[in-house]
Amino acid sequence: MSIAVAAQPTVLHHFVGHVRTRADRQCLWYHTPGQPVDVEEKAVTIRTWRDIARDTAHVAAALRALGVERGDRVVFISPNRAEWIPVDLAVLALGAVHVPVHNSLAGPQMQFQIVDCGAKLVIVAGEEQAAKIAATSLPAGTGLASLDAVASAPAGTSPRRLFEVVPPPTEAELDAFLDSAGVGTATNDLATILYTSGTTGEPKGVMLSHGNITSNAEGIVAGFGGAQDERRLNLLPFSHIFARTCDLYVWLIAGSEMALADAPQTAVENCAEFQPRILNAVPYFYERVMRKVVEMGVADMPDILRLAMGGAIEHCCSGGAALPDHIAKFFNDRGVLLTQGYGLTETSPVITMNTHLVYKHGTVGRPLENIEVRIADDGEIVTRGPHVMLGYWNRPEETAAAVVDGWFHTGDVGEIDGDGYLKITGRKKEIIVTTGGKKVAPLLLEAKLTSDPLIRQAAIVGEGKDYLAALIVPNFEGLAEALRETIGERPQAELVEQPEARELIGRAIRERLADLSHYEQVQRFTLVGREFDVDHGEMTLTMKLRRKRVAENFHTEIEEMYRK
């Protein structure tokens, strides 16, 4: 039976190729859904390429029965689970547009994205997601389906179980699906809309084409030389483009192996069971691993990180936010290569990356093949190539401002060294200008501060002020240990009020910023009794600081630091 292949293959064509040539090869591992995560010996489900194809054909038939046609937007609200994969592939196979919505959002935030994209169908994982949108209302004509049984639903909707809409496909129907998947889909066709969480302002829908996501994943595979026996552990949400491209689509294109973590919090335990060779995560994950082995007193044990992460780990990749140099050095010095790349949702996402073959510490690597990067006259990083988005959904003016003559303006500031490696030095929109006209990149200072073992998070302020100040979240465990003999045991809220704590942190701030100019020094600081987090709106889902919300939540503390 012949395979219809587009002039330039898409993710779907790579997938169909694996199903045709290696149908019975095991490729996906995960724990049985619904099983408590604290069960000592959890049952593992193992899927082959043909198993996944069968589920994808089943979902595609269900979507057609629910009225989904080419170009329709399908919203999917779900944490990572095995069904995420066939839902995504089925939507793409029909020529529809997948709009994944972050599972952690509140109901009104979900509703905004559903309405803004004009969704034809909303699919929820189960009751948790259904209850969130039940408190809102869906636009007229928007259908609702679910993976699990649900009791809640917005008024006027009757949700159906997605896998019960139609019977599973026969072998003949599966083969027919594989013949038709992606046929008629051009590389420039819209594949997905992803809403950026943003550091300020209302979320924008980023439109990525089939060519965007495919070229980016192919570039990553080419850079890493993805082997088919290479197993990765996925722990980040597929609803974010980092995991979707760098885990899901890289796995699909390389035809390699993937295991799904039960949750980000259990990733280290899942490493022990699934023994991955590669792992993608945000800096926050690596910082937690580092601090844990330090606090346990085993940081200098031979091969400790490899053993802690399953025994087979070879390469860890960091993205989503800036990776502090000291964390990368901690991993690399202990035999586990930790590198970082750079990109944005608007660039599918990877622009540059370090690999095990091409790597320079302190940089975010070199551009992927077919990607151009240059530094504009004002220091902004701009990029051009097949990875650049189609634009923002229904926002032509913002699209025109972001993409000029094919060059996407990242909003980040950086420099390219003589070997072609890119280094990020700040955020154009986050540059602080003091009353003296001095320009300061807060990201640089915050990275230096958080390299100290006593400082977990830092937020630099000072726009329009005479000097810089900082909100400091200490490493509460480390600070408590350092002061135990002096002040005894103290709750976090009391610990940050102690003069001894301020003295220690003040010394750390001076030491970490000692090599900077006088106007880049922190003159005053406040110790914060809790971490900046997503729940308070102070961090994005990729753990970037939302400065506007931090300034709002800590308005009193900031004003106090500038009171004469």
What is the domain-level CATH number for residue 398? 3.40.50.12780
Distance CA 40, CA 149 (A): 27
Taking phi first (over 0 means left), then psi (-120 to 50 degrees means alpha), and beta for anything else, what does residue 540 get?
Answer: beta
Q: Hey, is 271 helix, strand or coil?
A: helix
Q: Hey, is 391 helix, strand or coil?
A: strand
- At residue 34, the pLDDT reads 60
Distance CA 195, CA 207 (A): 9
Distance CA 449, CA 471 (A): 11
Distance CA 317, CA 262 (A): 19
Residues in the chain: 564
From 428, 444, 462, give the residue that closes a domain: 428
Does one domain contain both 406 and 441?
no
Q: What is the rounded (10 degree) CA torsion for 128, 130, 131, 132?
A: 90
Residue 26 belongs to some domain of the structure: yes
**Is there a contact between 173 and 61 (Cβ–Cβ < 8 Å)?**
yes
Does one domain contain both 63 and 142?
yes
Residue 201 belongs to some domain of the structure: no
Burial class of residue 175 (count of CB atoms within 10 Å of its CB; 0-12, 13-18, 19+):
middle
Of 375, 197, 399, 380, nearest to 282 by C-alpha is 197
Taking phi first (over 0 means left), then psi (-120 to 50 degrees means alpha), and beta for anything else, what does residue 38 get?
Answer: alpha
Does one domain contain both 76 and 133?
yes
- At residue 5, the pLDDT reads 38
Residue 44 belongs to some domain of the structure: yes
Residue 219 belongs to some domain of the structure: no
CA torsion sign, 457 to 260 to 206 to 77? negative
Residues 6+ apart with CB under 8 A from 303: 334, 335
What is the residue whose two structure tokens read 């750390």?
508
Residue 436, domain CATH: 3.30.300.30
Residues 6+ apart with CB under 8 A from 214: 8, 9, 10, 11, 14, 187, 249, 253
Residue 339 belongs to some domain of the structure: yes
Q: Max CA-CA distance within the chain? A: 80
Pairing of strands 257-260, 231-234: parallel
Residue 247 belongs to some domain of the structure: yes
Does one domain contain both 277 and 424?
yes
Number of structural domains (the chain) is 3
Does one domain contain both 464 and 351?
no
Does one domain contain both 296 and 357?
yes
DSSP state of 198: -
Residue 200 belongs to some domain of the structure: no
- At residue 465, the pLDDT reads 86
- At residue 41, the pLDDT reads 62
Under-70 pLDDT residues of the chain: 1-7, 33-41, 197-201, 226, 564
Q: What angle do CA 96, 97, 102 make, to 5 degrees?
A: 140
Phi–psi pair at 182, nearest 5 degrees: 80, -5
Does one domain contain both 416 and 440?
no
Does one domain contain both 388 and 265?
yes
- At residue 158, the pLDDT reads 87
- At residue 2, the pLDDT reads 35
From 395, 428, 461, give the residue that closes a domain: 428
- At residue 1, the pLDDT reads 31
Does one domain contain both 88 and 57?
yes
Residue 392 belongs to some domain of the structure: yes
Pairing of strands 97-101, 73-77: parallel
**Is there a contact between 98 and 119 (Cβ–Cβ < 8 Å)?**
no
Q: Which domain holds residue 536?
A: 432-561
Does one domain contain both 173 and 128?
yes
From 382, 407, 428, give the residue that closes a domain: 428
Does one domain contain both 311 and 348?
yes
Distance CA 191, CA 183 (A): 14
Does one domain contain both 29 and 82?
yes
